Amino acid sequence: MKVRTKYLTACVGLVAAGAVFLACSKAENRSRTEPNPKPTTRDKATTAVTKTPWASANKELTIVNAYDAFGEPGAGMVKDFGFSAVIRYGGKTILFDSGTRADIFEGNLKALGITAKDIDIAIASHAHHDHIAGFDYLLRENPKVQLLLPKDFFGLGSPLTFSIKGKEANIAKTLAAKQRYFGGKRDLAKNKLESTGRFWKANVRYIESPTQILPGLTILPTTSKLMGTFVRYPPFGKKPKLIGLPELSASFSTSKGEVLVVGCSHSSVEEIVKAASKAGKGNIRLLTGGFHLLPYDRTYLEALAKRLKKEYAVKTVAPCHCTGHLAFSILKQQFGDKYYLFGLGSKIEL
């Protein structure tokens, strides 16, 4: 795996590789005791796409962070909280999420030398605004792009069939036709809703089960049990029901293993890794994206980092977005030089 930056060349020119390694190790050993450790050489060594074309033709996969709140991006890119990554794989340009503001997203893509028309396939990890608002720009400029969305009625308006018969369904017959839903002419047990909204008339495919989209690219759906839509109407009055939040992740097969891209990991990053494994995508060379670890403490995070490395044999990690400072620090300690700082404008190639 190769991570290119303008800083890497400068660092190598100044010090021998062995000295760099020692400096990184010492800095990482210190980070538990120093509340504000200085950025390590490796931190500085993994940022900024500075030239186009952004993806090399001879690489199996290139992934660049196009929307995030940290990093050392090149000129013209703007930091904001949200996530988007652009991936070049199998001769296609694939967008994974699109950030919080369409104008910032558009500017960041253009600063990387990418336009909406370059995107062949766009994936939305989930319905939250910090992942999907940039699709406004994408669809304005490239309205026929193939969109892959989680099947989420509440968040994304995916088609939904549900009963509107209610209790004592025979009561309908006592009502005048003009008071009955659809004049009493439809099967109310199978009422179908199809929404307009952001993705109206777009080329959308809703993904409900592990689905191969291209040779080597599999979309993995999971459902968060930690957040979603809370239902307490009868018959759930005493025992509220949580309709979990549907999410998509993307796994790209390479000769070095899988590159697993996650959005916000509301299903938990561990459950997504398990889902990948279940779908035959368990040989994870790189795990990247938002791990959503902001709410967790050191004890939980240290155990999770260990499990990711030892139990699930994740080889390298490049966490970003909602992973959080504490998890950045702990994952870096656990993975050492297999940890990549993947902020806005960073690029990883395999």
Residue 3: CB minimum distance to Fe ion, A: 24
106 binds Fe ion (CB under 5 A): no
C-beta atoms surrounding 50 within 10 Å: 15
Cα 112 from Cα 119, distance rounded (Å): 13
Phi, psi of 159 (to 5 degrees): -55, 140
Cα 100 from Cα 82, distance rounded (Å): 5
Task: Single out the segment in contact with Fe ion by CB under 5 A; choices: 97-105, 124-132, 266-274, 279-287.
Answer: 124-132
Of 130 and 247, nearer to Fe ion (C-beta) is: 130
Of 23 and 227, nearer to Fe ion (C-beta) is: 227
Residue 290: CB minimum distance to Fe ion, A: 5
Cα 156 from Cα 230, distance rounded (Å): 17
C-beta atoms surrounding 325 within 10 Å: 10
118 binds Fe ion (CB under 5 A): no
Q: Which residue type is seen at 343?
A: G
Shortest-Cβ-distance residue relative to Fe ion: 264
130 binds Fe ion (CB under 5 A): yes
Q: In 3D, which of 74, 76, 64, 142 has the Cα closest to residue 103? A: 76
Of 1 and 123, nearer to Fe ion (C-beta) is: 123
Of 14 and 294, nearer to Fe ion (C-beta) is: 294
Residue 83: CB minimum distance to Fe ion, A: 6
Q: CB of 301 within 8 A of CB of 327?
A: yes
SS3 (DSSP) at 246: strand
Task: Single out the segment in contact with Fe ion by CB under 5 A; choices: 93-101, 126-134, 171-179, 334-342.
Answer: 126-134
Of 54 and 96, nearer to Fe ion (C-beta) is: 96
Task: Single out the segment in contact with Fe ion by CB under 5 A; choices: 18-26, 193-201, 258-266, 302-310.
Answer: 258-266
Cα 52 from Cα 63, distance rounded (Å): 14
264 binds Fe ion (CB under 5 A): yes
Task: Single out the segment in contact with Fe ion by CB under 5 A; choices: 103-111, 127-135, 139-147, 323-331.
Answer: 127-135
* Burial (CB count within 10 angstroms: exposed 0-12, middle 13-18, buried 19+), residue 34: exposed
248 binds Fe ion (CB under 5 A): no
Applying CB under 5 A, which residues contact Fe ion? 130, 264, 322
